[in-house]
Structure 1
Amino acid sequence: MIEPGKLAIPEMVDEAWTVTATAAACAVLLVMSTPFLRKVVSRVQEYACGVAADHQHHKHCMPLPPGSLGLPCLGESLTLKSQGQKFWISRQQLYGDIFKTHLFGYPSIVVAGPDAARFVMVEQASSFRQRGLPIIEKLLGSSFFGYQHEKVHANFRKILHGPLLPEALERSIPAVEAIAIDILKHWDGKIVNTLEEARKYVFKVAMEFVVGAAPPDEKEELTRACERLIRGVSSLPVNIPGSNYYKAIKESRRKACALLDKIMSFRSWQDENTGKILSNDGAGDILGLMMMLEDENGCNLQVEEIYDNILTFLYSAYDSSAAALCWTIKALTEHPELLAQVQAEHEMISAKKSYDENIKWYDIKEQMQLTIRVIKETLRIANVVEFSYREALEDVPYKGIVFPKGWRVIIAHAAYHMDPKYFPQPQEFDSSRFRVHPKLFSFTPFGSGPHVCMGRELLHLQLLVFIHHLVLKYSWEQHGSEDGSEFLPVHVPKRGFPIQVKRRGKGRSFGSDWKEDPVHKSPFY
């Protein structure tokens, strides 16, 4: 039986930080009242953040890229929070495809063009370590395999990729369909919050892949604990009793880890001779694979490492996958002609099947091409995950500038996804642009290189299955008015995009006389 050991509870946030940040913000409002003082403050901030790397710059005789480090202590984080993808686009237009800034407590270099992105993600990937945002690492843990060095990361991917391969995904289609149908049957005649319902759906699917062999009541309990923990990720990092962040630290992570430990203890035992963990159920889910995984020394992972990886997997599903589904439904809602085309595509698939026949992998990969293009255009223009996060492991020269060791490196996918050089009229929603492949590395919603998202095929499966049943069986319309977007940690509609839903009449058809891929004004920009 696995010993629970010490739970990996994040350290308490220094309360003095909050006081300091508040005082600094007040002082900054006074100091920044004149252009001269703004320039002085910027120079001081740049010196404070860059002094540690300066002698390395002199060694290479290379400067930092242009840009601004923003306000003392706060950097430009508040501006990013309020502007979202417009932050990256405006600075790219001002400074070019590479610029410096200060975000999330760290001096950072932003790459905002395909060539520089390829350099960081692929050509020089070994010089940049993947990181999570500070609040994510604090709450979910820093042992996620994606954050590890090359050899460890590659070993993890090789083992854990199994459940996400096409043949494994094909076997999972009946289970995914059952979850989608169960969620949708509660929509008829109701006003539903699309984002919240999407979260329920993708999280249930994720649970099947991550801890599928666990008893249903334990999965439900783990779901509730993880949802509370994830709410802490989206909250202000203020450790005050009653706040979501405080609850996430004090209660939710501890509860989630205890439940994972209970599931692991039930499913395994420890070999008395070797000390290795052996499974008693042969479960092929991600938790089962992680329990059997060995490091380069032949030792099982520590339970804290398992906790961190499972919680990070589930967080990714809860936020980014759900947001992608929500934005796709929003795009179809606001473009009725496009929705009619998608419905016709799925009616043609359905017409070839018996009443209770499941979708096949062939249907998803070959027969849903229009829907796939709609999803791609949604990912491009909504930019659910606006950027990837790295840390420079050494001074890395590139085209006359340097990525200093220890600085964060941000790949701003949103900037080149909305660049007219690669996507003409980028504010227009035009799924036909994906009839041809875009310029290499100009469309990277899942990243690229050794750290490309392992769950990208699962995301497509979830969205395509759900949309298939939604457009065939239901009609809906937006309920209420728009109220903007929230941008961190992922881009979502502020109100969750409520819709009024009713079941469609049987036998309704949209026919086949339609022009594919109409162009529409984007609802996202």
Structure 2
Amino acid sequence: MKLLSLSSPPPFSQALLHVPLFLFSSILLSSLLLVFLILLWRRHPKDKRLPPGSMGWPYIGETLKLYTENPNYFFSNRQKRYGEIFKTNILGCPCVMISSPEAAKTVLVSQAHLFKPTYPPSKENLIGPEAIFFHQGAYHSKLKKLVQTSFLPLAIKGSVSEIEQIVLKMLPTWKNNTINTLQEMKRYAFDVAMISAFGDKMDIEMDGIKKLYLCLEKGYNSMPLNFPLTPYRKAIKARKLLNETLRRIIERRRDSKNYGGGLLGVLLGGKELSDSQIADNIIGVIFAAHDTTASVLTWTLKYLSDNVNLLEAVTKEQEGIKMKMVGAGLTWDDTRRMPLTSRVIQETLRRASILSFTFREAVEDVEFEGYIIPKGWKVLPLFRTIHHCADFFPQPDKFDPSRFEVPPRPNTYMPFGNGTHSCPGSELAKLEILILLHHLTLSYRWQVTGENDGIQYGPFPVPKRGLPVKVTKRSKTVPT
């Protein structure tokens, strides 16, 4: 019988007996995953005329750079190096980024049938694959008609009073306090989104929906790592629970024949959609109406704080509205008589460019400006780059609402996208910003605390630390 020397290592097969099974399995799975990711990273076709650019690390690509660098630097640096069309890898997806108005129009409007709307699978799964954002053709057309029924001016006129009540209840809680602007604006935007989604009929599940949505949002804005305890795994669980909650509301409203208002009432009234289709589109609308609007509001307060003369001019305009008001509250017509405040919103949308780009996907191999975009690759029109181009907007880093006294050149200003998939809720977003600015500028003033500059990304660009401000009562009284 051969004895093993204590000074020499045992054969590999016997050494495995001393390794915990779960550890060995983890090592094996990690190795296989690494091989798979390398193959995935290398799979893009070498024999085709791909645009220039870097694909970054396997799977991760250049995602971390995109979400941690100043987006202006990220895009302009690659544009200078590679030109107005370049390739990269974002969230595990091979992408082609384009940065000219003509190219954006081609992808979003004139040749839109070649580039279907899409998101990275990780994000699409959290919103819901049957949401309007991800479809073309007859299903999209049917949904768009229903959604527009809820968000056209004729429909949202009746929401002015409800939105105003949210503002009047919220603003006094800010007085003489230091607030995190972004978090407060998220709270406001979420309340408005819930009204737009469910109408004024608040079901008992509303508090639960808010908690589940916040968990979903954290995972949506994180790296899509589906492992235990990660934000993305928690978001997947929250999405399932959210779906069950929405199904209960849908069933109860159907049984009672009282569909209620908001988008849910419209979708139920269509009587052609399944529960999952309705649920996905309700969640999609909340997503579209929440984070982006809150970010725009945060930047608006930042820019007004930085431009005192502009703030006083906006206040004067709002005082004029107040003096001419017939009733106790704002009306839809009042919000149509705020040209300067509206230009402030337009310039905020351009300057901040909350949506740096949108996702499309090539439905076949597409020849584009001398290059081939392979089928399945994402195509990202870079709104931010176009909005910050000095050829279209002189002194692009200057906050100047007067530039919108004349309409911008076609396809150079796209804060809500372009084409058939442009954001249907743009008018509602503008409305809630106008209502908040009316009451805020008339009654309060705010001062940024701590550092006044800096940007953070999560993933939308917002002022550093969410813009903490000290809110005080405005000393000048409003004319009556």
Instruction: Tell me which of 71, 87, 106 is aligned to 1:119.
Output: 106
Q: CA deviation at 1:217?
A: 3.7
Match of 1:254 in 2: 240
Quickly say closer, same or farther: Cα 1:411–1:23, change in 2 above 3 A.
same
1:6 maps to what in 2? none
Distance 1:133 1:364, change over 3 A: farther
Quote the residue 2:331 is aligned against. 360
Deviation string 1:173-219 (CA, Å, 9 cap, x unpaired) is 11111111111121111111111111111111111111125435432
Match of 1:284 among 243, 261, 265: 261
Q: Does 1:172 align with 2:159?
A: yes
In the alignment, is the contact (CA less than 8 A) between 1:119 and 1:125 conserved in 2? yes
The reply on whether 1:316 has 2:288 as its aligned counterpart is yes
Instruction: Give the AA of the match of 2:370.
Output: G
Partner of 1:423: 393
1:78 corresponds to: 64
Q: Does 1:137 align with 2:124?
A: yes
CA contact (8 A) 2:95 2:377 kept: yes
Distance 2:205 2:164 in 1: 22
* 1:149 counterpart = 2:136: yes
Change (3 A) 1:90 1:196: same
Aligned ranges 1:391-410 → 2 under 5 Å: 391-410=361-380
Tell me which residue corresponds to 1:383: 353
Pairwise CA distance, 1:490:
1.9
Query: Which amino acid is the alignment partner of residue 279 of structure 2?
Result: Y
Q: List aligned pairs for 1:179-328, cutoff 5 A.
A: 179-215=166-202, 217-250=204-237, 252-269=238-255, 280-293=257-270, 300-328=272-300
Summarize the Cα distance change of 1:73–1:243 in structure 2 as closer, same or farther, 3 Å threshold.
closer
What's the counterpart of residue 45 of structure 2?
50
Equivalence for 1:414: 384
Query: Residue 133 and residue 339 in structure 1: after superposition, are their counterparts in 2 closer, same or farther (change >3 A)?
Result: farther
Equivalent pairs counted in the alignment come to: 452
In the alignment, residue 301 of structure 1 is paired with which amino acid? L
Counterpart position of 1:516: none
Q: AA paired with 2:86?
A: F
CA contact (8 A) 1:99 1:110 kept: yes
- Give the 3 Å change call, closer, same or farther, for CA 133–471 of structure 1 in structure 2: farther
Tell me which amino acid in the other structure corresponds to 1:70.
Answer: G
Counterpart check, 1:343 vs 2:320: no
1:110 Cα deviation after fit: 0.8
* Change beyond 3 A, Cα 1:500–1:174: same
- Residues 17 and 443 from structure 1, CA distance in 2 versus in 1: closer, same or farther, beyond 3 angstroms? farther
What do the CA deviations read for 1:18-58 (whole angstroms, capped 9, x no partner)?
9579979xx9xxxxxxxxxxxxx9xx99863224xx4xx5x
RMSD value, Cα: 2.6
CA offset at residue 293 of structure 1?
3.2
In the TM superposition, 1:424-443 aligns within 5 A as: 424-443=394-413
Amino acid at match of 2:459: P
Q: Which has the larger radius of gyration?
A: 2
> 1:240 Cα deviation (Å)?
4.2
Superposed displacement of residue 461, structure 1: 0.3
> Which residue of the partner structure matches residue 489 of structure 1?
459
Q: 1:406 offset after TM fit, Å?
A: 0.9
Normalising by structure 1, report the TM-score.
Answer: 0.81
Q: Percent sequence identity over matched residues?
A: 36
Deviations, residues 383-435 of structure 1 (Å, cap 9, x unaligned): 11110001001122233223221111011101111111111111111111111
Q: Report what 1:523 is aligned to.
A: none
Q: How far, CA to CA, are the matches of 1:223 and 1:16 in structure 2? A: 39
The two structures have a TM-score, normalised by structure 2, of 0.88
* Secondary structure in structure 2 of the residue aligned to 1:48: coil
Aligned AA (1:359): L
Counterpart in the other structure of 2:83: 96
SS class of match (1:107)? strand
C-alpha separation between the residues in 2 aligned to 1:324 and 1:459? Answer: 9
Runs of 4+ that moved beyond 6 A? 15-18, 20-24
Structure 2 partner of 1:369: 339
Against the structure 1 CA distance between its residues 505 and 111, is the aligned structure 2 distance closer, same or farther, given a 3 Å change threshold? same
State how far apart, in whole Å, the 2-side matches of 1:155 and 1:45 are. Answer: 36
The separation in 1 between residues aligned to 2:401 and 2:73, in whole angstroms, is 22
SS at match of 2:469: strand
Indicate the larger mover: 260-269 or 344-353: 260-269
1:286-332 per-position Cα deviation (integer Å, ceiling 9, x unaligned): 112223435xxxxx333222222111211122211111111111111
Whole-Å Cα distance in 1 between the matches of residues 300 and 446 of structure 2?
14
- Residue matched to 2:474: 504
Instruction: Give yes or no for contact 1:389–1:409 (8 Å, CA) kept in 2.
Output: yes
* Counterpart code for 1:114: P
Contact 2:41/2:58 (8 A) holds in 1: no
Residues of 2 paired with 1:112 and 1:46: CA distance?
Answer: 24
CA gap of 1:266–1:442, structure 2 versus 1, over 3 A, is: same
Unmatched 5+ residue regions in structure 1? Answer: 1-14, 28-40, 58-62, 270-278, 295-299, 510-525
Structure 2 residue ranges without an equivalent (≥5): 1-25
Partner of 1:456: 426
* Paired residue type of 1:169: I
Partners of 2:31 and 2:280 in 1: how far apart?
Answer: 30
SS at match of 1:102: strand
Q: Distance in 2 between matches of 1:16 and 1:312?
A: 39
In the aligned structure 1, how far is the partner of 2:72 from the partner of 2:81? 15
Asked if structure 2 preserves the Cα contact closer than 8 Å seen for 1:45 and 1:72, the reply is: yes
Identify which range, 481-490 or 96-105, moves more after superposition.
481-490
Task: Tell whether 2:51 aligns with 1:65.
Answer: yes
